[in-house]
Amino acid sequence: MVEDNAVNQRLAVRLLEKQGHEVDVASNGREALEKLVRPPADAPDFDLVLMDVQMPLMDGFEATAAIRREEEKTGRHLPIVAMTAHALKGDRERCLAAGMDGYVSKPLHAEELYAALRLQTETPRLPYGGPPARPPIYVRFYAALIRFTIRWPWVTIVLALAVLGGSYKVFDKYVTRGVLWRSWWGQDTYIRIIINLPRGEELERTDELARFFEQKLAHTPEVDRYVTQVAPQYAFIRVTFPDSLENTQVPVAIKDQMVAYSNLFGGAEVRVYGYGPSFYGGGASPPNYSIKILGYNYETVREIAEDLGNRLKRFPRIRDVDVNSAGGWYTSDKATEFVLALDRQKRFFNSYQ
């Protein structure tokens, strides 16, 4: 630290030593040059200089200029932070233009001083008098990459496209596709098993029934997870599946198995429900689907519709089939027939005119 005022010296030394720094004090620029430019053999290596601007014999600007001239011979840069009582506009710019690296105002404030020290000591430096410290390898690599990109932008674009195109095989082999966003409400596929027992039943009986279904689920490899909640008169089991099976018929088959198991118990009401795209295409409730049949002959179209309706009624998961349904919410009628009557005599008469 280069400071001519004794009070400022004691204050700065105390603040710096509280942070674990070792401080050497010089009262003016000449003393600083003796310690920095022409140091004795046992002189310590300095990491930073706090330089007062206004001092007798040699001020801070002159001392900084002399230090920078000597550094041109060694290639090393020693950080110099200016300390000045001036608060005029442009003082900071003047200090930086003189070769200083930072600026703090007097009277010194601990936080401002510590921030200036941290800013200047983040980059590791070699001992004074040695060659300049090389930046870390990742910094040099990133700087070279930026220079290459700026100098040859089109080469960079071509390389990026080549890497993107060449990675298609890796993407196609290892990346799971088909579902972009997950966990939207009503889009998870899961099974819910509800067990209800009459009033007065004990917890052991409800737990026994719940454990029966847990045992069956534990031996089903397609099940990802199941969570059970048991109370004296009821129990809930939620069964979930891996992402790869949520949109398949596997959850439907497992639900049918659970329904079959639920019929084995008497005196208990066991209900099994399936939710999600595997059961009814997603959403909060089963939707209605419509099949539109078009044709020229109404009776033939009706026969086709009734035959298709009879086939659909055979599926147990279909609740109701209406073969005479309206085509849309805006259609008031259910069946429409257009009859075209041809006047053959008029058509024959017009053809010979």
∠ CA 126-35-87, rounded to 5°? 90
pLDDT tens, position by position, 23-44? 889 888 888 888 887 776 666 7
For the chain, state the CA radius of gyration.
43
Looking at the domain covering 190-280, what would its CATH class be? alpha beta
Average pLDDT over residues 51-78: 85
Question: At 87, is the secondary structure helix, strand, or coil?
Answer: coil
Q: Express each pLDDT in 269-303 by its tens digit.
A: 899 998 887 776 544 445 567 788 888 788 888 88
Are 53 and 60 in contact by the 8 Å Cβ rule? The answer is yes
SS (H, E, C) 24-85: CCECCHHHHHHHHCCCCCCCCCCCCEEEECCCCCCCHHHHHHHHHHHHHHHCCCCCEEEEEC
Neighbouring CB atoms inside 10 A of 64's CB total 24
30 contacts 77 by C-beta, under 8 angstroms: no
How far lies 73's CA from each of 56, 66, 131, in Å? 27, 12, 10
Quote the pLDDT of residue 329: 47
pLDDT score recorded for residue 246: 80
What is the rounded CA–CA span in Å between residue 325 and residue 3? 97
Q: Rounding to the nearest 10 degrees, give the CA dihedral for residues 334, 337, 338, 344.
A: -170
Q: CB burial class (10 A; 0-12, 13-18, 19+) of residue 209?
A: buried
For 152-198, the pLDDT digits (tens) are 888 888 888 888 877 877 776 666 554 444 445 556 789 999 999 88
At 204-233, the pLDDT tens digits run 889 999 999 999 999 999 999 999 999 888
Alpha-carbon distance of 250 to 242, in angstroms, equals: 11
Tell me the pTM: 0.35
Hey, where are the domains in the chain? 6-121, 137-174, 190-280, 288-353
According to CATH, the topology of domain 6-121 is Rossmann fold (3.40.50)
